[in-house]
Structure formats: C-alpha cells, structure tokens
C-alpha cells in the first residue's frame, strides 16, 4: 500500500513536555490510557519538565509509575525548575534546587534542571528577578552535574551572555523550542548546547527556522512537543500531546532530506547522550 509518509518509528523521544498539564479528555481522563496510546504511537521516552516549585512534588508523583523502564510503556525522566514567566518575583536560589533534587526519592530519575532562562516578551526588557533565577538554575545544574533546559524569548542576546558568563558550558544544556536565528544557534552550539525543535518547525511561517534546522549538525538536534502547548500541523491550535512529536520529526526529515527513521534514531540517541542516559539497545 502506498503512503506518503514513512511508517512511524517506534523509538521517539519527546525531550520536553509538561505531562501534568495535558488535556486527558481524549483519553477518558486517564493518564494511564494516554501513556499507553503514546507507547503505541512510538513515543518510548519523555522528559517531563516541572515549571513551578509548588507543583514539583505532585508532578513527580504523577509520572512516578513510569520512571522505571518497562516493556510496554514509555519511560519518563524528570526536570525541575521555575519557568521565567511563572510567578514573577518568586525567589528561588541554587541551594533550594540542589536540596530538592538531592532529597527527592526520584533523584536517580532527575535528568535535567529547568526550564529556566529569560523572557522579555511581556516585560519588553530585562527584569532583575528573571536574571537571578536564571543564574541560580545554572549554578545548581553545574553543582548537580546535570544539563540545563533554556527558554528564551525576545531575549536571545542576554540569554547567551548569561550562559557564557555563568559557565553553562560546564553543565551543558539545550535551547528548548528553538526559534532564534542561525547566529544564536551557532553561539549555543559553540557552548556545547543542543537545539531542540518543536511543533513551531511545522508552521507555515517558520521558513527561516526550517533553514536553521537544515544547517544544524545532526548530532546536536533534539525533538520535543512542549505539550500541551504548540501542537504541530495538522493539529495546530488544539491541545498538544507527546504523541504528536512525529509530525515535527517528519518535517525535520523532509527539510533535511533524511528518512523519518534516521531522524528518530539520531534525535533519540542525541537526547540520551545529552541527559547521560544509556543509549537504547
Ligand atoms: Zn516547556
């Protein structure tokens, strides 16, 4: 039978999602039903990102049945931080992040720190508390020897300056939901960082981003959904889930002239290397 697209690879890794925020209505309001559907759709690994300290523990508990590898369900790793637009003025220092991670019963499943970064979209300018929190996350990541997840919006120059001045090269990290220009991509790559592409890559208006994705080195590319946000075409505007990561993978394959299988294989291998996880067999 002829299909326009390759069969769905069975080894996709959604490197950034918010599993405590999904719309579970299509899955009978059941997190377990959703996870089974994700496994069937080839999403075998996910990194679940917490964005507010008051929800860290609840999120860890929600995904806890999935942190151990099992034959027929996705495996989940965790990242803890406070999003740059979340709870303005809320102070979070490096010690608090380190203490939480070290005391957590899920410690061995915590693979990254964040998301953190700078977002001037609403403020239109630098805000001191965002910078403080950003630096705290980097310091915690260096101390914990875990990579950091970076969110940047309307603040590319300052974001890269802080990463440099705070020695983020020492922990490594990812530019999550990457939408910046090639110059910023190069700066991130020079710091040893990865670039993660989300559903934005599939949007009609994202021609420049697709050019960047075409030029990016194959061993630095990650895929993510940022679910429940930013659903890729053809689901744009609807609640996103990790199941849709394959649409972004397909567009990446198309623009780079690679097969979907090849994209799945290297993006999963890259994510494992980035998070210091064993490579899938
Ligand atoms: Zn996110």
pLDDT digits (tens, 9 = 90+) for 247-257: 999 999 999 99
* CA 264 to ligand 1 centroid distance, Å: 21
12-274: what fold?
TIM Barrel (3.20.20)
* Domain spans, the chain: 12-274
- CB of 78 within 8 A of CB of 110? yes
- For the chain, the residue count is 281
User: What is the rounded CA–CA span in Å between residue 85 and residue 101?
Assistant: 22
Does residue 228 have a cis bond before it (omega within 30 degrees)? Answer: yes
As beta bridge partners, residue 223 has 197
State the DSSP H helix or E strand holding residue 266, giving kind and residue range, or none if neither.
helix 260-274
* CA 224 to ligand 1 centroid distance, Å: 9
Q: Would you place residue 6 in the very low, low, confident or very high pLDDT band (cuts 50, 70, 90)?
A: low
Tokens of 21: 């925020």
Protein residues within 5 Å, CB atom, of ion ligand 1: 226
Phi and psi, residue 27, nearest 5°: -115, 30
Is the pLDDT at 199 greater than 70? The verdict is: yes
* CA 229 to ligand 1 centroid distance, Å: 8
* CA 62 to ligand 1 centroid distance, Å: 17
Percent of residues, the chain, with pLDDT higher than 70: 98
| Among the listed residues 223, 225, 229, 215, the one whose alpha carbon sits nearest the alpha carbon of residue 266 | 223
* CA 150 to ligand 1 centroid distance, Å: 9
Is the pLDDT at 159 greater than 60? The verdict is: yes
pLDDT at 3: 41
Average pLDDT over the chain, rounded to whole?
95
Is the pLDDT at 221 greater than 70? The verdict is: yes
* CA 257 to ligand 1 centroid distance, Å: 28
pLDDT digits (tens, 9 = 90+) for 91-118: 999 999 999 999 999 999 999 999 999 9
Is the pLDDT at 21 greater than 90? The verdict is: yes
* CA 49 to ligand 1 centroid distance, Å: 7
* CA 115 to ligand 1 centroid distance, Å: 7
| Other Cβ atoms within 10 Å of 206 Cβ, number | 18
Phi and psi, residue 194, nearest 5°: -100, 160
* CA 71 to ligand 1 centroid distance, Å: 27
Pairing of strands 148-153, 173-175: parallel
* CA 40 to ligand 1 centroid distance, Å: 24
As beta bridge partners, residue 46 has 14, 76
First-to-last CA distance in the chain? 30
* CA 17 to ligand 1 centroid distance, Å: 6
User: What is the rounded CA–CA span in Å between residue 186 and residue 179?
Assistant: 13
- CB of 34 within 8 A of CB of 74? no
User: What is the rounded CA–CA span in Å between residue 241 and residue 265?
Assistant: 20
* CA 281 to ligand 1 centroid distance, Å: 28
Tokens of 268: 């999963």
* CA 99 to ligand 1 centroid distance, Å: 23
**What 8-state DSSP symbol labels residue 170?**
G
pLDDT digits (tens, 9 = 90+) for 36-71: 999 999 999 999 999 999 999 999 999 999 999 888
* CA 3 to ligand 1 centroid distance, Å: 33
| Among the listed residues 244, 203, 250, the one whose alpha carbon sits nearest the alpha carbon of residue 227 | 244
* CA 58 to ligand 1 centroid distance, Å: 17
User: What value does the CA radius of gyration of the chain take, rounded to a whole number of Å?
Assistant: 18
């Amino acid at each position: 039978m002829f299909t326009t697209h390759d069969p769905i690879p069975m080894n996709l890794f959604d490197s950034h999602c918010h599993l405590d925020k999904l719309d579970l209505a299509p899955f009978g309001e059941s997190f377990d039903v959703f996870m089974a559907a994700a496994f069937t759709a080839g999403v075998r690994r996910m990194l679940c990102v917490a964005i507010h300290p008051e929800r860290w523990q609840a999120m860890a508990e929600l995904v806890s049945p999935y942190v151990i590898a099992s034959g027929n369900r996705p495996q989940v790793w965790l990242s803890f931080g406070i999003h740059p637009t979340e709870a303005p003025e809320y102070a979070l220092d490096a010690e608090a992040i380190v203490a939480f991670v070290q005391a957590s019963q899920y410690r061995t499943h915590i693979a990254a720190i964040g998301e953190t970064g700078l977002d001037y979209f609403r403020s239109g300018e630098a805000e001191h508390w965002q910078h403080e929190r950003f630096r705290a996350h980097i310091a915690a990541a260096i101390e914990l020897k875990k990579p950091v997840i970076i969110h940047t919006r309307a603040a590319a120059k300052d974001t890269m300056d802080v990463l440099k001045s705070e020695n983020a090269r020492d922990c490594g990290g990812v530019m999550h939901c990457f939408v910046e220009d090639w110059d910023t991509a190069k700066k991130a790559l020079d710091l040893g960082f990865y670039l993660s592409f989300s559903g934005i890559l599939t949007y009609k208006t994202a021609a420049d981003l697709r050019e960047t994705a075409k030029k990016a080195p194959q061993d630095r590319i990650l895929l993510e959904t940022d679910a429940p946000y930013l659903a890729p075409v053809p689901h744009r505007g609807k609640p996103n889930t990790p199941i849709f990561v394959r649409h972004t993978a397909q567009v990446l394959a198309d623009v780079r002239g690679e097969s979907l299988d090849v994209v799945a294989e290297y993006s999963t291998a890259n994510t494992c290397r980035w998070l210091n996880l064993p490579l899938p067999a």
